[in-house]
Amino acid sequence: MGLPIVRLGDMTSHGGRVVTASPTHTILGIGIARVGDKLICPMPGHGVSVIVEGAANFLIGGRKVALHGHRGACGCTLIASLVTATHG
């Protein structure tokens, strides 16, 4: 079974959220998150961060798609909210 795809608004292990995503590729009307998309991290000193990990074989606009368990630059882990939309 594949890993769930991360979308705009999904949470992180630090209590933050993904705040940018693809404007053209969506699942149930919500943008798909990719490497380089931004997240907000509430941990002291973190603030705005970016997604740094994605699926090597799943690209949108030349950017790797972020999956559940992938990481942000602040060290957080991404948590997908929709477990039925998977890849892999």
Q: Could you read off the pLDDT of 23-47 as tens digits, one per residue? A: 999 999 999 999 999 999 999 999 9
- Domain limits at 34? 3-87
Domain containing 50 — which CATH number?
A: 2.60.200.60
pLDDT, position 47: 96
- Cα–Cα distance measured from residue 18 to residue 48, given in angstroms and rounded to the nearest whole number: 10
- Domains in the chain, number: 1
Average pLDDT over residues 73-86: 94
Above 90 in pLDDT, residue 84? no
pLDDT, position 63: 98
